[in-house]
């Protein structure tokens, strides 16, 4: 691909390429899902091809697994790999404590399992995803199909006692049918606008029968890499509270592979 990227896509590419620098030979990696993660998979495959890295990967969705395999990466089941060294994934929102909302791509369950089974999680994102308080992005909750509307009603009732600014709950659709996850579950999107206590909300949601998992990632992310289409990348590390920005030069040759699949 030689066409110029939009600023948004350039930012995604910059963050993905920078995050791949953390990968070392012999690592077992978790591969995230979404448009930014797709750039990461392509950048990772290029490093493997150019440097001969020996790595193995667990994917967080069927579409990520298919993309990674098509690029020659060694993709295995998470149970076959055991504990992972590093997971690199995107996010829909992140706050100053590097708490996240994830699940815009309906892969939050596998994403949370893989990230929780890793020594370190790096999130790749863009400046628009940084917020002072989580909640502007609808919070996804994965629920089993049986009694899904009852589960929805229980969530709505629970939200009346939570510190949130909105309480609308909608069933995520794919065309005229309810969207199904890789595990054949459903997604409820919670339009909360602002979450006062994300930790409490996460715990309360997961106590409701029918809820499989929610899209709040608390105390899981270690580093956020923020790519800016203007030509810079910022790295925030929760372990030492550091934040530094680097200038980045990107040419068409750097992203000359095919467009990432969503």
What are the tens digits of pLDDT across the range 82-92?
999 999 999 99
Quote the Cα angle for 171-174-177, to 5°: 75
The larger pLDDT score, comparing residue 4 to residue 232, is at 232
Model pLDDT, residue 256: 78
Residue 236 marked as a ligand binder? no
Q: State what percent of residues in the chain have pLDDT above 90.
A: 90
Residue 151 marked as a ligand binder? no
Model pLDDT, residue 251: 85
Model pLDDT, residue 252: 82
DSSP 254: G
Give CA–CA dist 169/149, Å, rounded: 10
Give CA–CA dist 205/244, Å, rounded: 35
Contacts of 13 (CB under 8 A, 6+ apart): 5, 39, 43, 227, 250, 254, 255
Mean pLDDT, range 124-134, rounded to an integer: 96
pLDDT band (50, 70, 90) for residue 250: confident
Tell me: pLDDT of 1 over 70: no
Tell me: pLDDT of 109 over 50: yes
How many whole angstroms from its chain centre is CA 92? 7
Tell me: pLDDT of 105 over 60: yes
Q: What is the pTM of this model?
A: 0.94
| Beta-sheet pairing, 121-125 with 86-89 | parallel
Model pLDDT, residue 255: 83
Q: Architecture of 139-211 per CATH?
A: 2-Layer Sandwich (3.30)
Model pLDDT, residue 261: 43
Q: How long a stretch of residues is the chain?
A: 262
Contacts of 108 (CB under 8 A, 6+ apart): 102, 140, 142, 213, 214, 215
Model pLDDT, residue 185: 98
Q: State what percent of residues in the chain have pLDDT above 70.
A: 97
Mean pLDDT, range 20-42, rounded to an integer: 97
Give CA–CA dist 202/200, Å, rounded: 5
Q: Architecture of 8-129+219-255 per CATH?
A: 3-Layer(aba) Sandwich (3.40)
Residue 105 marked as a ligand binder? yes
Contact criterion met (CB below 8 Å) for 141 and 187: yes
User: Which residue, 162, 100, 85, 87, is CA-closest to 130?
Assistant: 100
What are the tens digits of pLDDT across the range 168-211?
999 999 999 999 999 999 999 999 999 999 999 999 999 999 99
User: Which residue, 23, 180, 55, is CA-closest to 106?
Assistant: 180
What are the tens digits of pLDDT across the range 58-73?
999 999 999 999 999 9
Tell me: pLDDT of 260 over 70: no
Q: Is the dihedral of CA 40, 43, 49, 53 positive or negative?
A: negative
Catalytic residues: 111
How far, CA to CA in Å, does 212 sit from each of 48, 147, 183, 216?
35, 13, 10, 13
Mean pLDDT, range 155-169, rounded to an integer: 98
How many whole angstroms from its chain centre is CA 111? 7
Average per-residue pLDDT for the chain? 95
Mean pLDDT, range 158-171, rounded to an integer: 98
Residue 30 marked as a ligand binder? no
Residue 90 marked as a ligand binder? yes
Number of Cβ within a 10 Å radius of residue 163: 13
Residue 231 marked as a ligand binder? no
Model pLDDT, residue 2: 52
Residue spans per domain, the chain:
8-129+219-255, 139-211
């Amino acid at each position: 691909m030689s066409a110029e990227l939009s600023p948004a896509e350039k930012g995604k590419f910059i963050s993905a390429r920078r995050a791949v620098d953390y990968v070392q030979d012999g690592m077992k990696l978790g591969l995230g899902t979404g448009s930014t993660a797709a750039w990461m998979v392509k950048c990772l495959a290029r490093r493997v091809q150019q440097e001969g890295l020996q790595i193995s990967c667990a994917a967080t969705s069927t579409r990520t697994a298919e993309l990674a395999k098509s690029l020659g990466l060694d993709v295995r089941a998470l149970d076959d790999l055991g504990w992972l060294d590093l997971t690199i994934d995107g996010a829909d929102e992140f706050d100053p404590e590097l708490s996240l909302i994830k699940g815009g791509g309906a892969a939050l369950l596998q994403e949370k399992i893989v990230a929780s089974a890793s020594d370190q999680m790096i999130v790749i994102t863009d400046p628009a995803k940084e917020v002072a308080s989580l909640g502007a992005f609808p919070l996804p909750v994965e629920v089993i199909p049986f009694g899904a509307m009852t589960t929805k009603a229980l969530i709505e009732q629970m939200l009346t006692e939570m510190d949130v600014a909105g309480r609308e709950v909608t069933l995520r659709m794919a065309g005229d049918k309810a969207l199904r996850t890789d595990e054949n579950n459903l997604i409820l999107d919670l339009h909360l606008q602002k979450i006062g206590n994300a930790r409490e909300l996460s715990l309360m949601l997961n106590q409701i029968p029918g809820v499989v998992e929610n899209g709040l990632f608390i105390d899981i992310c270690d580093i956020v890499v923020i790519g800016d289409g203007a030509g810079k990348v910022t790295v925030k590390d929760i372990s030492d509270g550091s934040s530094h920005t680097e200038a980045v030069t990107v040419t068409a040759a750097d992203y000359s592979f095919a467009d990432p699949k969503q």
